[in-house]
Amino acid sequence: QVQLVQSGAEVKKPGASVKVSCKVSGYTLTELSMHWVRQAPGKGLEWMGGFDPEDGETIYAQKFQGRVTMTEDTSTDTAYMELSSLRSEDTAVYYCAKYSSSSSGLDVWGQGTTVTVSS
């Protein structure tokens, strides 16, 4: 049974960067394709990017290209999402989620990490 446990809440100033972690248990990270989705307060879900197993590359939503970096540490089975040049509109709950090749959906989710950007 795969479980994803994310790091705790963060408060950042505008212009700073934030790095959210997602620890995998029950599987090794190399067996998974991880994606990241965010949700601003009272708003809908927004896909940020994820690993494409067919190409073996990470793909990013155009909106975040140049500002987001998704990485993995296979030695600790931890995935990371770093977002730079933060602005108030980046205040949101950030989720990691596992892609299922059998269902082509995000079938296991982390609990979410709240990132607040405020001066």
- Which residues in this chain contact other proteins in the complex, by CB under 8 A? 35, 37, 44-47, 50, 52, 59, 61-62, 95, 97, 100, 103-107, 109-112
In the complex, the smallest distance separating the C-beta of residue 83 from other proteins, rounded to whole angstroms, is 17
Between 57 and 119, name the residue whose CB sits nearer to other proteins.
Answer: 57
Q: How many CA atoms lie within 13 A of 48 on its CB side?
A: 24
Between 52 and 73, name the residue whose CB sits nearer to other proteins.
Answer: 52
Between 75 and 103, name the residue whose CB sits nearer to other proteins.
Answer: 103
In the complex, the smallest distance separating the C-beta of residue 119 from other proteins, rounded to whole angstroms, is 27
Give the count of beta carbons closer than 10 Å to the beta carbon of residue 67.
Answer: 16
